[in-house]
Amino acid sequence: MADHVFEAPPAGANPDWTIPQGWDRYTPEEHATWDLLFERQSRLLPGRASEAFLKGLDVLRLERPGIPDFDELSDRLMGLTGWRVVAVPGLVPDDVFFDHMANRRFVAGNFIRRRDQLDYLQEPDVFHDVFGHVPLLADPVFADYLAAYGRGGQRALGLGAIKKLARLYWYTVEFGLVREAGGLRIFGAGIVSSAGESLFALDDPSPHRIRFDLRRVLRTEYRIDDYQPNYFVIDSYDELLRTTVKTDFAPIYAELADMSDIAPGAVVDGDELLTRGTGAYHAARQAAE
């Protein structure tokens, strides 16, 4: 992970941490890795992923072979929702991240995982960032939600509430489920870009699937090293946008300041459980450690 985590803009980066994508420098092996990942996920996702995500794959022409060119991708996105994709060398500081997002610039790593990392990579690469995140930026409502989240992040920095707000991002943008077409669909980038979690999130009996509640989410810790033991389910992207735009988060942060965090995998009073999980997957993992 250290290869792509920096404390200051590395050599060649702009003050806002952006860098050239360097599309011409990708090797045939790197393009082939993208194609392999794309083919695997695109076979899995029909009937599992949100319709807005699948539509975004189509309208942005992400099915074309090879790693997408960010300039071409941005031209198409700008015409749809005003977003652009900008390359960064890896994980960036919170203030940089929120500034880009609030101004409809989606930061994406320009490196791609190795073949021996197809199923797990701790830091986000170009496949996670572009395949996982960018299709929903073609949806006007979700695009507005992400920009609103960026503005909320800028405010949270001044309120010392980043840890809580990060949980909203995690349980929606990264690992969210949505009720759609008479069932559940996946939309979080961490799920749609993962072959294993694309199956686990919807089919496995282990995780709890809980109706989205803002306060509950802001209190809930998460796993970064394994499949999620809890998934939160929204009714629509309109609900997510409305909740974010019309809620004053400051009094909620104050209200939650003296309340204990909720552990990943826990069920608490007030949860609306759509599926009560068995917890078997994570119990077996823990027993094996």
Q: What are phi and psi of 228, to 5 degrees?
A: -75, 135
Q: Is the pLDDT of residue 207 over 70?
A: yes
SS3 177: strand
Query: Minimal CA–CA distance to 87: which of 74, 77, 99?
Result: 74
Range of weakest confidence among 4-13, 106-115, 181-190, 257-266: 4-13
- Locate 97 and state its tokens: 């991240």
Q: Which residues of 82-102 are buried (b: 16+ CB within 10 A; e: fewer)?
A: ebbbbbbbbbbeeebbbbbbb
Distance from first CA to last CA of the chain, Å, rounded?
22
The C-alpha atoms of residue 7 and residue 156 are separated, in whole angstroms, by 21
Write the pLDDT tens digit of every residue in 227-271. 999 999 999 999 999 999 999 999 999 999 999 999 999 999 999
DSSP-assigned states of every residue in 211-237: E--HHHHHHB---SSS--SEEEEES-H
Write the pLDDT tens digit of every residue in 67-123. 999 999 999 999 999 999 999 988 899 999 999 999 999 999 999 988 777 776 667
Q: Which helix (H) or strand (E) holds 109?
A: strand 105-109
Annotated binding-site members for Fe cation: 128, 133, 174
- Locate 11 and state its tokens: 């050599």
The C-alpha atoms of residue 133 and residue 174 are separated, in whole angstroms, by 8
Annotated binding-site members: 128, 133, 174
Domains of the chain: 15-288 (1.10.800.10)
Query: Minimal CA–CA distance to 162: which of 96, 237, 90?
Result: 96
**Structure pTM?**
0.94
Q: Is the pLDDT of residue 198 over 90?
A: yes
Tell me the pairing of strands 177-180 and 183-186: antiparallel
